[in-house]
Amino acid sequence: MTVSAAELLGELLDPGSFVSWDRPPVPVAASPAYRGDLLAAAATAGTDESVLTGEGLLRGRRVAVIACEFAFLAGSVGVAAAERIVSAVERATELGLPLLASPTSGGTRMQEGTVAFVQMVKVAGALAVHKAAGHPYLVYLRDPTMGGVFASWGSLGHMTFAEPGALVGFLGPRVYQALYGKKFPEGVQTAENLYRNGVIDGVVPVSVFRRIVHRALTVLCDGPVPLPEKAGDAMPPALGSGSFPAGPQERVAVLDTAEVHAWQTVLISRRGDRPGIRELLRHVTDRVPLSGTGQGELDRTVVHALARFRGQPCIVFGHDRAGQSPEHTMGPAALREARRSMHLAAELRVPLVLVIDTAGASLSREAEERGLAPEIARCIADLVTLDTPTVSVLLGQGTGGGALALLPADRVLAAANGWLAPLPPEGASEIVYRDTWHAPELAAAQRIRAVDLREDGIVDRIVHEYPDAAEEPADFALRMVEAIAGELAGLTARSPAELLAARHLRYRRLGLRT
């Protein structure tokens, strides 16, 4: 049963808080038959058009809302409905409000022809302006959402969710059958299938979407929470420059870390029980998972989310060691997901945290044909020029271009047993010696350890392991979260122009002895 616009708003917003922004629909050219259809639709739906707009409170937060009414001519959008949508988007932008949209529609209103069809352009344009101003736009797709509505304002959200079982697609099944004389394949145009294929971020009921919106807006709109002046005193300090003062314990830790052979670091980083990005995310707050590229690709070797690290808002993206295996390594889609996270961080004006923990990118025909190397290049270029604070974390293995693609940040942290190399040491040994027996020797010679990377200006700060993160996963994760939070707090106090200039200078000088 299709949920009405009023029912949707009643469940999404705080009780009694909705205030309509709607004015009488703008007049449109209409034949007598179409005029009769409009009157009948209004009587059936109890609304004067196929969309309702306004504002309300969501857990006390002021938000703008747009909701389709399917009972009004199947939620179709013509000139009057599009004008109402655009006016609401523009008003939300002017007021600086986050915007929530919930379409359910058969698409463009056929009775108005091509002029209704091209309304998609002005709707998309208004949303682009809203997003460019740094205001969040979140979408909840209801059953059904088809055609031009899905192909415009239904697909432009920073985050997009759908109700369970919703029919979501571009070309309607009835139209497909009429045009091609056969049924559209079953199970394709469902919310669940689109989620599995990286088109939308999740499939949840309205009550859960309300909680997701609250968390997301807490991250995106509330700003950072000042860290306590001595936030690091309760935990062992990180090594190197940063928020915490150096002390005797740090000097001992530096000595211990420096004494670990590079090959031993590699072996430690490969332990199956070593904590990865998911362990870090267990110790953050207001986490909202994201999924896929939003363009039909999903790679299970990576994770991204909105989150707060001890009150510091950010978008997190990184390699997921739990999703990797020798047969399943990161491919081009993972890097396109990374670029989605970069784009979201810049557009929403929140910092970006990148977590490196990969045995290497996929070596396959599919990866080559789908543009693995160009995606690595684009990630690097995007990060170097990204207009928002960035922190990169070398958490474990850092092999090849798949690791380098997430490296160039304003600040680079490393776990004590994290490492970075152009190839696994075995691969480097094969190139240099035509065998893999010299891997330990190559690991040492290439200076891949965190301590070497810090000396060479690649890493800024080392977070220690006592003696190995796998032996103390929760404590290590807490130390790393604390260190990331400290870096985010420091970076957000600087202007974007200052960050960009410092980042350019940092990477311009890499490898030069001064």
What does the alpha-carbon distance between residue 243 and residue 471 come to, in Å, rounded to a whole number? 25
pLDDT digits (tens, 9 = 90+) for 174-184: 777 888 888 88
Query: To which residue do tokens 């199956």 refer?
Result: 272
28, 85, 206, 222, 232 from 17: Cα distances, Å: 32, 20, 17, 21, 42
257, 336, 423 from 378: Cα distances, Å: 34, 9, 20
- Give the model's confidence band at 186: pLDDT under 50 very low, under 70 low, under 90 confident, else very high: confident
What is the average pLDDT across 53-81?
Answer: 97
pLDDT of residue 251 exceeding 60, the answer is: no
pLDDT > 90 in the chain, percent: 81
- 284 touches 308 (CB < 8 A): yes
pLDDT of residue 232 exceeding 70, the answer is: no
Q: Is the overall model pTM greater than 0.75, yes or no?
A: yes
What is the average pLDDT across 425-440?
Answer: 92
pLDDT of residue 497 exceeding 50, the answer is: yes
pLDDT of residue 244 exceeding 50, the answer is: no
What is the average pLDDT across 119-128?
Answer: 96
Beta strands at 239-240 and 461-463: parallel, antiparallel or unpaired: antiparallel
What does the alpha-carbon distance between residue 244 and residue 288 come to, in Å, rounded to a whole number? 29
pLDDT digits (tens, 9 = 90+) for 437-446: 999 999 999 9
What is the H or E stretch that residue 52 is in?
Answer: strand 51-58
- 117 touches 108 (CB < 8 A): yes
| Region of poorest pLDDT, from 3-12, 148-157, 190-199, 327-336 | 327-336
98, 400, 456, 462, 477 from 432: Cα distances, Å: 56, 16, 23, 30, 37
Mean pLDDT of the chain: 91
pLDDT digits (tens, 9 = 90+) for 68-77: 999 999 999 9
pLDDT digits (tens, 9 = 90+) for 363-421: 788 888 888 899 999 999 999 999 999 999 999 999 999 999 999 999 999 999 999 99
